[in-house]
């Protein structure tokens, strides 16, 4: 992804499912403009793109939400509730944890206007689930 006057690439790294670009934007640039600039890159034309806030500590380590959300049901009978809430927030249910049957992994779809931190917080604060939290990626070798 080429840098522009509106975006500056801070760092790139990958995890097992995603290629992650950590960019700094001018304060006057909207997130919609950022998404348009990233989406217009030829290499990323058919890619799912999620834009999330990134947290950079004093040493420069970027902690980046990667679009996944982990949810623990209060009971195995709450799956229908998970389906409803996942649909409401634009999440795809990726898998059930085979060793912990009340735990599910969700992924935020491209069309969603929220970021995974907001969605996980809303799910957790609703009281409908035992637990909900976003997944983060980082580059431990930088």
Q: Where are the domains of the chain?
A: 7-64, 66-136
User: What pLDDT shows up at residue 136?
Assistant: 86
User: What pLDDT shows up at residue 16?
Assistant: 63
Q: Give the C-alpha distances (Å, rounded to integers) separating 54 from 59, 63, 116.
A: 14, 6, 11
**Both tokens assigned to 88:** 């409401």
pLDDT digits (tens, 9 = 90+) for 119-128: 999 999 999 9
pLDDT digits (tens, 9 = 90+) for 48-69: 666 667 777 788 777 878 889 9
Give the CATH fold of the 66-136 domain.
Answer: Alpha-Beta Plaits (3.30.70)
106 and 71 in contact (C-beta within 8 Å)? Answer: yes
136 against 1, higher pLDDT:
136
pLDDT digits (tens, 9 = 90+) for 84-110: 999 999 999 999 999 999 999 999 876
Confidence class of residue 10 from pLDDT cuts 50, 70 and 90? low
Percent with pLDDT over 70 in the chain: 66
């Amino acid at each position: 992804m080429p840098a522009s006057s509106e975006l500056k690439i801070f760092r790139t790294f990958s995890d097992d499912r995603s290629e992650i670009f950590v960019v700094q934007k001018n304060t006057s640039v909207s997130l919609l403009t950022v998404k348009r600039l990233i989406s217009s890159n030829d290499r990323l034309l058919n890619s799912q793109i999620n834009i999330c806030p990134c947290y950079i500590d004093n040493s420069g380590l970027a902690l980046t939400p990667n679009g996944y959300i982990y949810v623990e049901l209060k009971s195995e009978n709450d799956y229908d509730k998970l389906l409803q809430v996942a649909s409401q927030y634009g999440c795809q249910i990726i898998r059930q944890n085979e060793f912990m049957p009340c735990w599910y992994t969700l992924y935020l779809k491209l069309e969603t206007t929220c970021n995974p931190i907001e969605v996980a917080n809303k799910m957790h604060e609703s009281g409908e689930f035992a637990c909900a939290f976003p997944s983060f990626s980082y580059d431990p070798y930088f």
